[in-house]
Structure 1
Amino acid sequence: MYAPERQQEILRLARESGRVDVLSLAEEFQVTAETIRRDLKILDRSGMVRRVHGGAIPAGRLDFEPDVAERESTAADEKNRIARAALAELPAEGSIILDAGTTVARLAAAIPVESGLTVVTHGLPVAARLADHPGIALHLVGGRVRHRTRAAVDAWALRAYAEIRADVLFLATNGFSPDGGLTTPDLAEAAVKSAAIAAARRVVLLADSAKAGQEHFARFGSFADVDLLITDSGLSPEDADAIKAAGTEVLLT
Structure 2
Amino acid sequence: MYAEERQQAIAQLVTEHGRLSVAAIAAQFDVTTETARRDLSVLERMGLVRRVHGGAVPASSLAVIESGLGERDRANTEEKDLIAKAALEQLPPAGGTVLLDAGSTTGRFASLLPRDHRLTVVTHAVPVAARLVSHPQIELHLLPGRVRTTTQAAVGADTVAAIGALRVDIAFLGTNGLSLTHGLSTPDHDEAAAKRAMVAAARTVVCLADSSKAGSEAAVRFAALDEVDVLVTDSGLAPADRTAFASAGPEVVVA
TM-score, length of structure 1 as denominator length: 0.86
Q: Whole-Å Cα distance in 2 between the matches of residues 6 and 219 of structure 1?
A: 27
Is the counterpart of residue 157 in structure 1 residue 155 in structure 2?
Answer: no
- Match for 2:86: what amino acid? A
Q: Whole-Å Cα distance in 1 between the matches of residues 227 and 39 of structure 2?
A: 34
Question: Superposition pairs for residues 219-238 of structure 1, below 5 Å?
Answer: 219-238=221-240
Structure 2 equivalent of residue 122 of structure 1: 124
Cα distance, 1:168 vs. partner?
0.6
Structure 2 equivalent of residue 86 of structure 1: 87
Structure 2 equivalent of residue 21 of structure 1: 21
CA contact (8 A) 2:81 2:105 kept: yes
2:221 match: secondary structure: strand
Any unmatched runs of 5+ in structure 2? none
Q: Whole-Å Cα distance in 2 between the matches of residues 116 and 130 of structure 1?
A: 12
More displaced 10-residue stretch of structure 1: 52-61 or 229-238: 52-61
Measured against aligned partners, the alpha-carbon deviations of 1:36-80 in whole angstroms (never above 9, x if no partner) come to: 938756764564542323233344235222111111111111111
1:127 match: secondary structure: helix
Q: Whole-Å Cα distance in 2 between the matches of residues 84 and 6 of structure 1?
A: 34
Calculate the aligned-residue CA RMSD, in Å: 2.5
Structure 2 equivalent of residue 32 of structure 1: 30
Question: Superposition pairs for residues 70-109 of structure 1, below 5 Å?
Answer: 70-91=71-92, 92-109=94-111
Question: Superposition pairs for residues 181-192 of structure 1, below 5 Å?
Answer: 181-192=183-194
Q: Whole-Å Cα distance in 1 between the matches of residues 118 and 195 of structure 2?
A: 24
- Aligned structure 1 segments of 4 or more residues deviating by more than 6 angstroms: 2-6
How many residues get paired? 246
Distance 1:189 1:67, change over 3 A: same
Is the counterpart of residue 141 in structure 1 residue 143 in structure 2?
Answer: yes
Q: Whole-Å Cα distance in 2 between the matches of residues 248 and 39 of structure 1?
A: 24
CA contact (8 A) 1:63 1:186 kept: no
Q: Whole-Å Cα distance in 2 between the matches of residues 39 and 238 of structure 1?
A: 13
CA contact (8 A) 1:105 1:125 kept: yes
Q: Whole-Å Cα distance in 2 between the matches of residues 10 and 174 of structure 1?
A: 20
Any unmatched runs of 5+ in structure 1? none
Between the two proteins, what is the percent identity of the paired residues? 49
Cα distance, 1:152 vs. partner?
1.0
CA contact (8 A) 2:11 2:48 kept: no
Distance 1:191 1:117, change over 3 A: same
Q: Whole-Å Cα distance in 1 between the matches of residues 188 and 160 of structure 2?
A: 15
Structure 1 equivalent of residue 62 of structure 2: 61
CA contact (8 A) 1:62 1:216 kept: no
